[in-house]
Amino acid sequence: MTPPATPVRNSNAERDIANVLHPYTDHRAHAKNGPLVIARGEGVKVWDDQGKEYIEAVAGLWCASLGFSNHRLAEVAYEQMKKLPFYHAFTAKSHEPLIDLSEMLIERAPCAMSKVFYANSGSEANDTAIKMVWYYNNAIGKPEKKKIISRLKAYHGITIASGSLTGLPANHKMFDLPVGDRFIHVSTPHHYHGAKPGESEADFATRLAQELEDTILREGPETVAAFFAEPVMGAGGVMVPPATYFDKIQAVLRKYDVLFVADEVICGFGRTGNYWGCQTYSITPDIITCAKALSASFLPISAVIINDRVFQGLADGSSTIGTWGHGFTYSGHPVAAAVALETLKIYDELNIVEHVNKVGAHMQAKLRERFEGHPLVGEVRGIGMVAAMELVADKGAKKNFEPSAKVGPRLAKLGEAEGVILRGLANDTIAFSPPLIMKADEVDEMVERTGRALDALAVQLRRESLTVV
């Protein structure tokens, strides 16, 4: 029987509409508008399949830390594929890239850590950390200590468990998340919207720490196992913690014997101006999760780094049962591990933290200089090479636009016309998290292109009477 002929499509965009289900996409709108098809990349720029050039202002998804054309990483991947393209880490099997990378991560950890476990994404890493916390408490004889506290607007992933930790409505609605009563959310540490009139950052932080303590007491300290936090909240809107926040939060966690899991998926490897976001905010975690810049996103890999206290609990449990019954086929995949190992070597050679401090200071200054006085911008915030500007309908009242106006997505589309790829987040917040290798003159061009797009948006919104200007 002759198979039916495959329909001939006229463009990549048409073929995409016909066949692809995209993450984080309005699929009805996509069917009308189609995708932006990216064909190649070099440095901090990418080009679409029509040849148009763009500055990538968010490094893809906060992740392409070394840009889009590092041939050294490609060569390492190729050489490892020739030598050992795959092997697993189950049942005490190992290989050299896995051992070398683990050693390097332990050496570079922000505090004393013991072991490293690997997965393929930040979501899987955080899902693993949740399972570790539960397993640990069973192993040490505290089976009731299972509840986990996260924050509203936190982003920790999209598996069922990590998605329950995430505190964003779009990740919960229609997915029946969070699951069960083990996941609890406390307030977002965002001074701009969360502080009371006249409340200082330190006083705001004190109030949030008291809220955390009250929550633990309400739930019962014997039932609360862990607190998850990003040093700087990423997908929720690039919220930089208020002064003294993590000092006060950690004091509460220590008081009630609650583990601290630091989600370094976005912040790790230099993004905040230190190698780890934990170092920027003096956090001493029990567990660290990381991904994205771990391999400069050339290949999927994530890691869960645990201290000796957690390891001893896992080890005891595995001895009792006969195994630590968790893992992924590609945990510590040799090619991904080899690329991650080389990525860390490149960071060392580039002195990436020094570079981020220099260029990041320039980026923060340029964003504030260009946008803080703009009538559509309520707040510019950030640290190192991660930042955001929040668009508002009423600057004086800090009033956001109605979601139906889709102001953030409109700015992102206007940005594409100006040759800059932007990322719109909740509350029409526009994120900036460019490749860490970005230079000062490239920052200037990114800000200039974004400024032209924002000015064009302001004209549109005035015509539609959507602003108080």
Domain boundary among the residues 301, 328, 350 is at 350
Does residue 178 sit in the same domain as residue 297? Answer: yes
User: 30 in a domain, yes or no?
Assistant: no
Q: What was the pLDDT predicted at 228?
A: 98
Residue 452 has pLDDT above 80, yes or no: yes
User: 4 in a domain, yes or no?
Assistant: no
Kindly report the CATH number assigned to the domain that includes residue 432.
3.90.1150.10
User: 9 in a domain, yes or no?
Assistant: no
Q: What was the pLDDT predicted at 4?
A: 44
Structural domain including 146 reads 72-350
- Mean pLDDT to the nearest integer, 350-355: 98
CB of 162 closer than 8 Å to CB of 228? no
Kindly give the pairing relationship between strand 423-425 and strand 420-421.
unpaired
Kindly report the CATH number assigned to the domain that includes residue 260.
3.40.640.10
Q: What distance in Å separates the CA atoms of residue 394 and residue 392, rounded to the nearest whole number?
A: 5
Does residue 237 sit in the same domain as residue 105? Answer: yes
- What is the reported pTM? 0.96
Give the model confidence (pLDDT) of 377-408 as tens digits: 999 999 999 999 999 999 999 999 999 999 99
Query: Helices marked H in 70-221 — which ranges?
Result: 71-83, 96-108, 122-139, 160-165, 191-194, 201-219
- Mean pLDDT to the nearest integer, 87-100: 98
User: In whole numbers, what is the pLDDT of the chain averaged over residues?
Assistant: 96
CB of 469 closer than 8 Å to CB of 375? yes
User: 249 in a domain, yes or no?
Assistant: yes
Does residue 212 sit in the same domain as residue 192? Answer: yes
Q: What was the pLDDT predicted at 7?
A: 42
Does residue 42 sit in the same domain as residue 158? Answer: no
CB of 34 closer than 8 Å to CB of 16? yes
Give the model confidence (pLDDT) of 239-284 as tens digits: 999 999 999 999 999 999 999 999 999 999 999 999 999 999 999 9
pLDDT band at 465 (very low <50, low <70, confident <90, very high): confident
Please give the tally of structural domains in the chain.
Answer: 2
CB of 254 closer than 8 Å to CB of 272? no
pLDDT band at 467 (very low <50, low <70, confident <90, very high): confident
Domain boundary among the residues 350, 382, 397 is at 350
Does residue 343 sit in the same domain as residue 456? Answer: no
Does residue 94 sit in the same domain as residue 59? Answer: no
Does residue 317 sit in the same domain as residue 303? Answer: yes
Domain boundary among the residues 333, 350, 367 is at 350
Does residue 327 sit in the same domain as residue 445? Answer: no
Q: What was the pLDDT predicted at 468?
A: 64
Structural element, H or E, at residue 306: strand 302-306
Question: Cβ neighbours of residue 354 under 8 Å, at least 6 residues apart?
Answer: none
Does residue 113 sit in the same domain as residue 135? Answer: yes
Burial zone of 316 (CB within 10 Å; 0-12 exposed, 13-18 middle, 19+ buried): middle
Does residue 59 sit in the same domain as residue 124? Answer: no
Does residue 339 sit in the same domain as residue 362? Answer: no
pLDDT band at 1 (very low <50, low <70, confident <90, very high): very low
User: 28 in a domain, yes or no?
Assistant: no
Give the model confidence (pLDDT) of 319-336 as tens digits: 999 999 999 999 999 999
Residue 11 has pLDDT above 50, yes or no: yes
Residue 2 has pLDDT above 50, yes or no: no
Kindly give the pairing relationship between strand 115-119 and strand 423-425.
unpaired
Least confident range of 84-88, 124-128, 403-407: 403-407
Give the model confidence (pLDDT) of 280-317 as tens digits: 999 999 999 999 999 999 999 999 999 999 999 999 99
User: 363 in a domain, yes or no?
Assistant: yes
Does residue 50 sit in the same domain as residue 97? Answer: no
User: 325 in a domain, yes or no?
Assistant: yes
User: 314 in a domain, yes or no?
Assistant: yes
Q: What was the pLDDT predicted at 469?
A: 55
